[in-house]
Structure 1
Amino acid sequence: MCGRFVTIYRGPSHTYKVQRLTESSAHSFRIQAVSDAGEGPFSDTHTFCTTKSVPPALKAPKVHQLEGNTCEVTWETVAPMRGDPLSYVLQVLVGRESEYKQVFKGEEGSFQISGLQPNTDYRFRVGACRRCQDTSQELCGPLSPSSLFSVRRQDNPASGELCPAETAKGAGLISSDERFAALIVCVFAGLSILIACLLQYFFMK
């Protein structure tokens, strides 16, 4: 710390969490005990080196349907981290599949996907990766929450217009109902005649 120690904590706790340290930097720490009797000697110095930071988590991407079975996925971009450029990884989960598949990796903030299937759910998520120029190491941050998308269906036929299959199906239902009603009438008529005959028989006897 520029050759000078600075007090960052004073209290009864045995632990302390130091935050917002500079990445890829050495930090030296020492501790001393203090009581009513006075201050004790400082401990040996311990030097700790921080690593490079990974990119932050991104927000869920936005998905817009284009013409046909095509959509465009867009996401927020992150400024270079200490001069290291960032690239983005786009993944998709199709339907009931259990694993995401990578469909894009690059520095752009959008990507178009074609050939999508109707009546199928697509879940998109994106993550940022940092390319460290000094070590050629790639550090990838956490993936974003997913965005659900499905291709919108085409407009249904105007009301009152039925396709031939629907018309035939409706006609079949109507004729079946008529036959069922006629059968019920015949059954009641037969029962009525039978009851009348029985009554007439008993009265004549």
Structure 2
Amino acid sequence: MFYTLQMEDKNHRFVCIYRGPSHTYKVQRLAEATSYRFRIQACSDAGEGPFSDTYTFSTTKTVPSALKAPRVHQLEGNVCEVTWETIPPMRGDRVNYILQVLVGRESEYKQVFKGEESAFQITGLQGNTDYRFRVCACRRCQDTNQELCGPLSPSSLFTLRRQEQQCLGETSAVETVKGAGIISSDERFAAVVVCVFAGVSILMACLLQYFFMK
């Protein structure tokens, strides 16, 4: 026994897409939200049997593909900016993005943004706390007003860098330089005093010698 599988083409004619002994066949490169008609017949050495009733199969709309892990950049203060890649409209349907964050040791992600933009700033971050961000794309169907969300992206880990420590380090370095400058000035002043004292002593010795010789 072998089987002949036929599919109706654009001209409403049935064409053979498979002929063989298998009971399954995968049809690829179908268009989304489109109806297709199939029929099948069984064949043997005795001849070909009648075709089955026509079966109509409709494909669904395609969901957006998974995005790459978002990128996180620290801004001034306790603020970071999360950015992600975008995808073009899908057959005229707009695409929104959902951003989620997992804070510290929490067990569930929380949604912090939903919209068409490809960036979002988060304020009020805490130091020594891990933040994990992930994003997904959602297709807004115009005809049915249905929202089809794709899989979530891999997460990106972010930890706030403490800028206060950097400022303290810079301040200490400045104070050290200033201290070094003060010490150097004192040393120069002492050297000037010693030179003046030595000059006066030599002058006095010369005057005393002059008077004794007289």
| TM-score by shorter chain over 0.5 | yes
Q: Residue 103 of structure 1 aligns to which amino acid in structure 2? A: V
- Mapped partners of 1:66, 1:7: distance in 2: 61
Corresponding residue pairs, total: 159
**Structure 2: how far apart are the matches of 1:133 and 1:44?**
34
* Residue 13 of structure 2: aligned partner: 4
1:132 to 137, 141, 154: 141
Tell me the C-alpha RMSD between the 2 structures.
1.7
Task: Measure the CA separation in 1 of the matches of 2:144 and 2:64.
Answer: 16
Alignment of 1:138-177 (within 5 A): 138-154=147-163, 155=165
The residue aligned with 1:24 is: 33
* Cα distance, 1:20 vs structure 2: 2.7
Q: Which runs of 5+ in 1 are unaligned?
A: 162-205
| Structure with the greater alpha carbon radius of gyration | 2
1:112 to 88, 111, 121: 121
Give 2:106's aligned amino acid.
E
CA deviations on 1:66-117 (whole Å, 9 max, x unpaired) are: 1121111111111111100011000000000011111101101111111110
Alignment-derived partner of residue 212 in structure 2: none
Q: Unmatched 5+ residue regions in structure 2?
A: 1-8, 173-214
Identical residues among aligned pairs (%): 77
Counterparts of 1:82-101 in structure 2, within 5 Å, are: 82-101=91-110
Counterpart-to-counterpart distance in 2, 1:96 and 1:121:
8
Report the TM-score when normalising by structure 2: 0.69
State the Cα distance separating 1:18 from its structure 2 match. Answer: 2.0
Higher strand share: 2
What is aligned with 2:61?
A: 52
TM-score, scaled to structure 1: 0.72
